[in-house]
Amino acid sequence: MVAFCFLAAVFTWGLGVFGASVYLHEVTKARGWSVSLVSAGITVFYLTAAMVLPAVGAAINRRGSRPVIAGGAVLLALGVAAMGHVAAPWQLHAAFVCMGLGYSTMSVIGLSATIADAKSLLQSDQRRQLAQVPQSGMSVVAGGGAVAALDVGAMPDTCAFRSIVTTQIGAS
């Protein structure tokens, strides 16, 4: 559970929060849109996540963490994949809404609720202490997300990221 939450946080923050600068650069460059237009989409991402966060803990309590986080992962992935297909500003904003919904389920609130749920199932004090590691180490994970975003930003020239994004944007 701890390892899963750690990996979920690294990918969520890497693709969501810290990946925003990559999306800002690539979409403005490929589409010729203004920085303010794409930045408004990033703001939509943050506002969507902020509005949904209060419901995430309740959804995890009602349905369990697996379906909530799985649904969030799908939405985050759809939003990231849609970045390569946006042809109009409304599509950009819709992609950022999907990303915001997905991010909210795997942010500090979602992962803390997951850990809290798991801690209630644990019996030994030693396992409870281990389960607290993600809660006390979120800044370390956030740093890992920043590294993931830097890696994504460094990949375009050596891997397929730039070609995928620019091909999909150019093809639309």
d(CA 96, CA 76): 9
Give pTM, 2 decimals.
0.70
d(CA 107, CA 45): 13
Q: Which fold has domain 2-171?
A: Growth Hormone; Chain: A; (1.20.1250)
CB 115 within 8 A of CB 127: no
For the segment 7-54, what is each residue's pLDDT rounded down to a tens digit?
888 888 888 888 888 999 999 999 999 999 999 999 999 999 999 998
Output the CA angle 107-108-114, nearest 5 degrees.
Answer: 95
Cβ neighbours of residue 49 under 8 Å, at least 6 residues apart? 16, 100, 101, 103, 104, 107
Mean local confidence (pLDDT), 138-151: 48
Mean local confidence (pLDDT), 58-66: 88
Of the two residues 168 and 113, the one the predictor is more confident about is 113
For the segment 92-139, what is each residue's pLDDT rounded down to a tens digit?
999 999 999 999 998 888 888 777 766 555 555 555 555 555 444 454
The secondary structure of 122-166, three-state, reads CCCHHHHHHHCHHHHCHHHHHHHHHHHHHHHHHHHHCCCHHHHHH
CB 20 within 8 A of CB 145: no
Mean pLDDT, the chain, integer: 77
Q: Find the range with the poorest average confidence among 53-57, 80-84, 127-131, 145-149.
A: 145-149
Cβ neighbours of residue 34 under 8 Å, at least 6 residues apart? 28
d(CA 50, CA 4): 23
